[in-house]
Amino acid sequence: MSRRTATRALGVALLVTATAGSLAAPALAAGGSSPSGAVLSAMQRDFGLSAEQARQRVRQEADAARVAASARAAADSSYAGSWLESGKPVVAVADAARADAVRATGAEARVVQSSRAQLDGAKAALDRRTDSSPAEVGSWYVDEPTNSVVVTVDKGRRTPATDAFVAEAAKSGTQVRVEETEGVAVATGDLIGGNAIYMGGGTAGRCSAGFAAKTTSGEPRLITAGHCSKPGPVVALGNLGIGQFVNTNWKDGNDFAAVAVDPLTWTLQPMVNQWNGGNVTVKGSEEAPLGGAVCKSGSTTQWTCGTVRARNVTVKYGQADGSTVVVRGLTQYTACVEQGDSGGSNISGDQAQGLTSGARLKDVDGKLRCLSSAESGMNSVSWFQPINEALKEYSLTLVTG
């Protein structure tokens, strides 16, 4: 294969196959350009919108994100969270005296009981008890719209041990809710073949490529999920070598890794594959707002879209040997994600969001499927690892176009 051919293919394989779900990119491109037709089509499909409604949502979310940033500063220490409702920013404050300052920025102010700092403190109390958490507890996170900490429990399995675990967070005076959930939390990599990246020279399973980055000296790196990291070469496109893992964070509360890419064979492109012959160019890594749309590219479910539901989520992933691995700091959203999608790109418009980490999957005729594709009548529950944390940890710079 010629270098030119290999370079073009990697731009698709590496920056296209994302891992946790999200479809057409919903946010407006930098500079006010319009979203591509493929993005709008994906949003129409996954959100049930018309083309004009999809365009309007993109514009609303871009405008709302800017307002929310100003409103957060106005809320000061009373800040309790922000999210979108009908395309408009809502900012919660724990001190009614700060409400007028928030409204002056153009956001709706909502007075609540606990500040975000208090909610984070309650969640941190649960994080300190991770090793002794009951088996039926699957995850916990701060839910800003309800001003509470949510603890998820496998459906029908709530026990007195669950209530004792929850009581620890409630000691701070914050509201703690228990939600029963369906499906099992699974890290979504290391499975069947497809158009993706393969570990261990092609014998250690399949994952999806995430984003292109570079070191301070300009060396190329591919960022993907930490649980995809295996010894040996990483390959793609009929066993063509990409490189090897040089950094891995997994089983340490994180889920990201970096592959040193062979620069003589590959040129990493700042693109995410839309699975329709087109790509989205990555312009930056500004975080999407709570309630905003995020889209993913992955080697199993390809393009799927979802809405951001929570940040800084702690998730317990079950392992084949019966043990669990705890990952903290994940973002929860509703896109369909399945095994093999791990490590793939999650993007909001042209802004990189993160790397697919896992999802709650349901057994459907012997196959683990996302909740949406299982037609269970529920939104899917998926998680991605925020990209900015990985970039900071490895002192990398995102490759943008």
pLDDT tens-digit map of 17-43: 222 222 222 222 223 345 566 667 777
126 within some domain:
no
What is this structure's pTM?
A: 0.75
131 within some domain:
no
Give CA separation, 55 vs 32, 36, 62, in Å: 12, 10, 11
140 closest CA partner among 112, 96, 99, 170: 170
Phi, psi angle pair for 80, to nearest 5°:
-125, 10
In this structure, the strands spanning 88-93 and 279-281 are: unpaired
The span from the CA of 234 to the CA of 244, in Å, is: 6
107 within some domain:
yes
Same domain for 204 and 340: yes
Task: Tell me which residues are annotated as active site.
Answer: 227, 255, 342
23 closest CA partner among 379, 329, 349, 309: 349
pLDDT less than 50: residues of the chain: 1-33, 188-195
pLDDT value, residue 139: 92
The span from the CA of 390 to the CA of 163, in Å, is: 34
Give the sign of the dihedral formed by CA 240, CA 243, CA 248, CA 251: positive
What is the C-alpha radius of gyration for the chain, rounded to an integer number of angstroms? 20
Same domain for 180 and 44: yes
Same domain for 302 and 401: yes
pLDDT value, residue 377: 60
Same domain for 41 and 82: no
Inter-axis angle of helices 116-127 and 160-170, nearest 10? 140
130 within some domain:
no
Same domain for 212 and 266: yes
Phi, psi angle pair for 280, to nearest 5°:
-105, 130
Buried b (16+ CB within 10 A) or exposed e, 66-88: ebbbbbbebbeebbbbbbbeeeb
**Which residue shows structure tokens 């956001």?**
107
Same domain for 389 and 346: yes
The span from the CA of 166 to the CA of 126, in Å, is: 8
What domain count does the chain have? 2
pLDDT value, residue 187: 53
Q: How many residues does the chain have?
A: 401
In degrees to the nearest 10, what's the CA dihedral of 105, 111, 112, 117? 40
The number of C-alpha atoms within 13 Å of 97 and in the hemisphere containing its C-beta is: 3
229 within some domain:
yes
DSSP type of residue 322: S
pLDDT value, residue 30: 26
Q: Which domain holds residue 35?
A: 1-48+139-148+173-401
pLDDT value, residue 262: 83
